């Protein structure tokens, strides 16, 4: 039977499987290995006490949560959602708005995106649960409030009665635009209109046809409108559960010319929620301690007073660190017949004591140390050494950051592909900002945001062409409304008249209208028979840009870890260039930023209907590099997990191909398949 060391030789390093970068707790599953009950228990209790106060008097409150990088701030937000979701509706907001002129719209969009999520062990979204919990649909008595089915069913049958009932119920609540707002709430109960209603509530610019279906006259396009709509959620829900707004990673917000964060605009928002009586919100602001210390004096005293509680995450103990290790190693320990005596085998407690002599550290440090120590143990096993003797005379682990980065990229890309099903789910200002980040990584010079003027300035940018004097202008708009499209085209025409750019690009997959529309006529003047171009982006390109944007946010937050070390934004940009990972983005190819190449088939479908196995082969090779060696069956299972459309026969073919190319080799080719190990082929093999 296989021993624990045999299992260690074959399996993936369990610490490689842990991603502790900032995450949206609605989009990624909470990592149970970091959920040691005793870690930050008192913090959760403190926050729950504040939540209880909001539940009692419905007065909004704010908590500032500070901690060093790797202390578990984002993870704690996920634990709060997991622990307290039965008492409140939870919203995740990454502070990565494109510019400070659209914070309220960003907050509204993220609020609705979170409210449409379905909590664990529930069948309906937070939004529907919130709607059904409104006092307009509940029956009161002295001891309890409960949902009244008869009132609900009666009102659903008649939209006007629904609107009239809510207007009467909340006539003193100062609801903004009640007819449209309550009408759209009714549309949430119609399966055919639910998605459109959500899009309107989140501030999407809908087409005229969609607006007619919802019976609304306009969309939410300004900061004041977004603020008023957010206020509506609080003002009609003072008898329901509070809404918890979790603002994560302030470091990702826009910066001022002096390099400091534009933090005052954000705290204006926080103060407004209190000052303008936006009821029933608990605001939790997560920020790196050093970031807060650098910026606290740049915030107006009145806005600092809007923080009702300051909580700092403390380091964890070595006992808690051991518990994290034990949880991660448990799946390995369960495989052999004879389990190791130590719950953290092959790691040792004295390694923690040696590396953290003060007896305190942070979760990320524990995982990074475990990754390196575990991998070193595997190296000793391969060399046939006794792992418990003369460790220091053996070479220590050398981590290939390029291979690890490419694995991380493919894993993050897979998440993005499952999350973004269509381009219009992203705001145009976010799309252009993602493009700008990619251009910066590729060292495009003299990038200037806001090429066009006016309301839609944040949809545009310009840059200098390499080795030329020409200036290129780009507008990216996916707003479906043709009135908006007209204003954008009109602004673009002024750029031509002022000769600001020599070549213009419009990026848009949506319709540009028809010959009867004024916007279409201007579009024709600009792009038909001229030096200017209209590019229709594909979804794959957006996935690439969004993946890079996610890694940028992680690097800025000092939470992007490769080889057990957090890397900076500059290091991320360098790795991006070295691996040429963005060269596969078709949009960047169409813009002439990178040279055109064959599609790499990330969806595993190549040309002529044949599977393109190159991404699979690349994944397998990088996985072997990062693991030093591993079981062949483990390599097959990991590859199938990453690429579900690829079968085991194709994986085995790729292993044979890598062996033929002398990139890897089977260590024990005569052994049974379940016992075979594969490693990187180098000069010493």
Whichever domain contains 668, its CATH number is 1.10.10
- Residues 554 and 638 grouped into a single domain: no
Task: Report the pLDDT value the prediction gives residue 685, as an integer from 0 to 100.
Answer: 46
Q: Is residue 19 part of a domain?
A: no
User: Are 519 and 512 within 8 A, CB to CB?
Assistant: yes
Helix (H, G, I), strand (E, B) or coil at 192: coil
How far is residue 58's CA from residue 64's CA, in Å, rounded to a whole number?
A: 19
Helix, strand, coil share (%) of the chain residues, nearest 5 = 50, 10, 35
Q: pTM (2 decimals)?
A: 0.90
**Whose CA is closest to 508, among 554, 542, 471?**
542
Which residue range(s) make up the domain with 482? Answer: 400-595
Query: Cα–Cα–Cα angle for 88, 90, 91, nearest 5°?
Result: 150
- Residues 587 and 641 grouped into a single domain: no
- Residues 371 and 448 grouped into a single domain: no
**Helix locations, 171-237, DSSP H:** 178-187, 194-201, 208-214, 223-235
Q: Is residue 12 part of a domain?
A: no
Q: Which residues pair with 534 in a beta bridge?
A: 506
Task: Report the pLDDT value the prediction gives residue 399, as an integer from 0 to 100.
Answer: 72
How far is residue 243's CA from residue 581's CA, in Å, rounded to a whole number?
A: 40
pLDDT tens sequence across 415-462: 999 999 999 889 999 999 999 999 999 999 899 999 999 989 999 999
How far is residue 588's CA from residue 538's CA, in Å, rounded to a whole number?
A: 11
**If residue 155 lies in a helix (H) or strand (E), which one and from where to where?**
helix 149-156
Q: Which residues pair with 361 in a beta bridge?
A: 316
User: Are 62 and 307 within 8 A, CB to CB?
Assistant: yes
Q: Is residue 441 part of a domain?
A: yes
Helix (H, G, I), strand (E, B) or coil at 291: helix
Q: How far is CA 280 from CA 52, 203, 239, 240, 267, in A?
A: 11, 21, 9, 9, 18
User: Are 197 and 210 within 8 A, CB to CB?
Assistant: no
Task: Report the pLDDT value the prediction gives residue 465, as an integer from 0 to 100.
Answer: 84
Total domains, the chain? 4
Of the three residues 295, 312, 329, the one that is the final residue of a domain is: 312
Structure tokens at 392: 């220091």
Helix (H, G, I), strand (E, B) or coil at 145: strand
Task: Give the strand pairing for 360-361 and 138-140.
Answer: unpaired
Site of tokens 């407004």? 272
Q: Which long-range contacts (CB under 8 A, 24 or more apart) does 373-380 make?
A: 373/347, 374/8, 374/13, 374/14, 374/15, 374/346, 374/347, 375/13, 375/399, 375/627, 375/628, 377/8, 377/346, 377/347, 378/8, 378/9, 378/13, 378/627, 378/628, 378/629, 379/628
How far is residue 237's CA from residue 136's CA, in Å, rounded to a whole number?
A: 10
- Residues 332 and 248 grouped into a single domain: no
Radius of gyration, CA atoms only, the chain? 27
Q: Is residue 295 part of a domain?
A: yes
Of the three residues 595, 627, 656, the one that is the final residue of a domain is: 595
**Whose CA is closest to 507, among 464, 468, 478?**
478
User: Are 132 and 186 within 8 A, CB to CB?
Assistant: no
Number of residues in the chain: 685
Of the three residues 398, 417, 438, the one that is the final residue of a domain is: 398
Task: Report the pLDDT value the prediction gives residue 605, as an integer from 0 to 100.
Answer: 43
- Residues 534 and 619 grouped into a single domain: no
- Residues 220 and 298 grouped into a single domain: yes
How far is residue 619's CA from residue 631's CA, in Å, rounded to a whole number?
A: 15
Task: Report the pLDDT value the prediction gives residue 389, as an integer from 0 to 100.
Answer: 47
Task: Report the pLDDT value the prediction gives residue 599, as an integer from 0 to 100.
Answer: 52
Query: Cα–Cα–Cα angle for 194, 198, 204, nearest 5°?
Result: 135
- Residues 391 and 468 grouped into a single domain: no
Exposure letters 456-489 (e unless 16+ CB within 10 A, then b):
bbbbbbbbebeeeeebbbbbbbbbbbbebbbbbb
- Residues 251 and 199 grouped into a single domain: yes
Task: Report the pLDDT value the prediction gives residue 604, as an integer from 0 to 100.
Answer: 41
Query: Cα–Cα–Cα angle for 288, 291, 293, nearest 5°?
Result: 110
How far is residue 377's CA from residue 94's CA, in Å, rounded to a whole number?
A: 38
**Whose CA is closest to 374, among 317, 318, 324?**
324
Exposure letters 436-446 (e unless 16+ CB within 10 A, then b):
bbbbbbbebee
How far is residue 655's CA from residue 227's CA, in Å, rounded to a whole number?
A: 56
Packing angle, helices 518-527 and 482-497, rounded to 10: 40
- Residues 117 and 211 grouped into a single domain: yes
- Residues 368 and 446 grouped into a single domain: no
Task: Report the pLDDT value the prediction gives residue 36, as an integer from 0 to 100.
Answer: 76
Task: Report the pLDDT value the prediction gives residue 34, as an integer from 0 to 100.
Answer: 58
Q: Is residue 80 part of a domain?
A: yes
Q: Is residue 332 part of a domain?
A: yes
Site of tokens 């038909």? 528
Average pLDDT, 10 consecutive residues per value, the chain (685 residues): 89 79 76 70 94 92 94 90 93 93 94 94 91 80 54 79 90 91 94 95 93 94 94 85 94 92 94 82 95 95 92 94 93 90 94 95 92 90 61 54 92 92 92 97 94 92 84 94 94 92 94 92 93 95 96 92 88 96 95 78 48 91 92 94 92 94 92 91 59
Q: Is residue 27 part of a domain?
A: no
Q: How far apart are the first and last CA of the chain?
A: 28
How far is residue 82's CA from residue 99's CA, in Å, rounded to a whole number?
A: 31
- Residues 232 and 254 grouped into a single domain: yes
- Residues 55 and 173 grouped into a single domain: yes
> Do you find a cis peptide bond into 346, omega within 30 degrees of 0?
yes
Helix (H, G, I), strand (E, B) or coil at 516: coil
Q: Is residue 516 part of a domain?
A: yes
Question: Tell me, what CATH number does 86's domain have?
Answer: 3.40.50.300
């Amino acid at each position: 039977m296989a021993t624990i060391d045999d299992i260690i030789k074959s399996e993936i390093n369990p610490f490689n499987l842990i991603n502790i970068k900032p995450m949206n707790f609605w989009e990624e599953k909470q990592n149970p290995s970091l959920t040691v009950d005793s870690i930050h228990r008192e913090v959760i209790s403190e926050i729950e006490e504040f939540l209880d106060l909001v539940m009692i008097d419905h007065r909004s409150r704010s908590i500032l949560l500070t901690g060093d990088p790797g202390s578990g701030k984002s993870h704690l937000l996920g634990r709060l959602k997991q622990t307290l979701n039965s008492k409140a509706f939870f919203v995740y907001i990454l502070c990565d708005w494109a510019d400070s002129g659209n914070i309220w719209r960003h907050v509204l969009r993220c609020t609705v995106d979170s409210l449409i999520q379905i909590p664990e062990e529930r069948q309906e979204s937070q939004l529907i649960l919130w709607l059904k919990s409104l006092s307009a649909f509940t029956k009161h008595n002295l001891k309890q409030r409960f949902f009244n089915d008869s009132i609900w069913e009666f009102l659903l049958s008649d939209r006007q009665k629904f609107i009239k009932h809510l207007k009467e119920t909340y006539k003193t609540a100062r609801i903004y635009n009640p007819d449209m707002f309550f009408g759209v709430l009714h549309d949430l109960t119609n399966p055919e209109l639910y998605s459109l209603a959500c899009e309107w509530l989140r501030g999407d610019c809908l087409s005229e046809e969609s607006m007619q279906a919802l019976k609304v006259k306009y969309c939410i396009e300004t900061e004041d409108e977004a603020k008023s709509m957010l206020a509506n959620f609080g003002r009609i829900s003072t008898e329901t559960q509070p809404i918890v707004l979790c603002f994560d990673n302030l470091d990702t917000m826009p910066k001022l010319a002096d390099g400091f964060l534009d933090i005052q605009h954000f705290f204006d928002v926080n103060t407004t929620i209190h000052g303008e009586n936006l009821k029933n919100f608990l605001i939790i602001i997560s920020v790196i301690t050093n970031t807060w210390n650098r910026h606290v004096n740049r915030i107006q005293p009145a806005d600092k007073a809007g923080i009702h509680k300051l909580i700092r995450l403390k380091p964890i103990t070595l006992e808690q660190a051991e518990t994290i290790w034990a949880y991660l190693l448990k799946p390995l320990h369960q495989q052999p017949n004879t389990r190791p005596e130590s719950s953290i085998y092959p790691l040792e407690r004295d390694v923690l004591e040696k590396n953290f002599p003060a007896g305190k550290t942070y979760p990320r440090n524990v995982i990074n140390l475990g990754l390196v120590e575990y991998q070193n143990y595997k190296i000793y096993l391969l060399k046939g050494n006794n792992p418990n003797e003369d460790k220091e005379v053996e070479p220590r682990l050398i981590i290939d950051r390029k291979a690890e980065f490419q694995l991380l990229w493919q894993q993050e890309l897979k998440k993005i592909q499952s999350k973004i099903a269509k381009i219009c789910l992203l705001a145009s200002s976010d799309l252009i900002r993602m493009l700008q980040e990619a251009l910066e990584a590729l060292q495009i010079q003299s990038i200037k945001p806001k090429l066009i003027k006016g309301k839609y300035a944040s949809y545009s940018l310009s840059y200098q062409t390499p080795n030329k004097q020409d200036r290129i202008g780009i507008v990216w708009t996916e707003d479906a409304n043709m009135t908006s499209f007209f204003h954008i085209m009109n602004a673009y025409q002024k750029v031509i008249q002022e000769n600001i750019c020599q070549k213009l690009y419009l990026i848009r997959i949506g319709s540009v209208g028809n010959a009867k529309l004024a916007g279409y006529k201007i579009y024709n003047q600009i792009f038909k028979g001229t030096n200017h171009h209209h590019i229709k982006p594909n979804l794959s390109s957006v996935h690439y840009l969004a993946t890079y944007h996610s890694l940028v946010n992680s690097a800025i937050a000092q939470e992007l870890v490769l080889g057990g070390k957090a890397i900076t934004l500059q290091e991320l940009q360098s790795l991006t260039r070295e691996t040429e990972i963005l060269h596969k983005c078709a949009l960047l190819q169409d813009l002439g930023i990178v040279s055109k190449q064959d599609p790499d088939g990330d969806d595993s479908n190549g040309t002529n209907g044949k599977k393109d196995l190159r991404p699979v082969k690349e994944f397998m090779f990088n996985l072997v590099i990062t693991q030093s060696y591993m079981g062949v069956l483990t390599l097959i299972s990991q590859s199938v997990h990453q690429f579900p459309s690829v079968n085991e026969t194709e994986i085995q073919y790729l292993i044979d191909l890598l062996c033929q190319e002398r990139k890897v080799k089977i260590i024990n080719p005569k052994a049974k398949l379940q016992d075979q190990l594969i490693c990187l082929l180098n000069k010493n093999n």
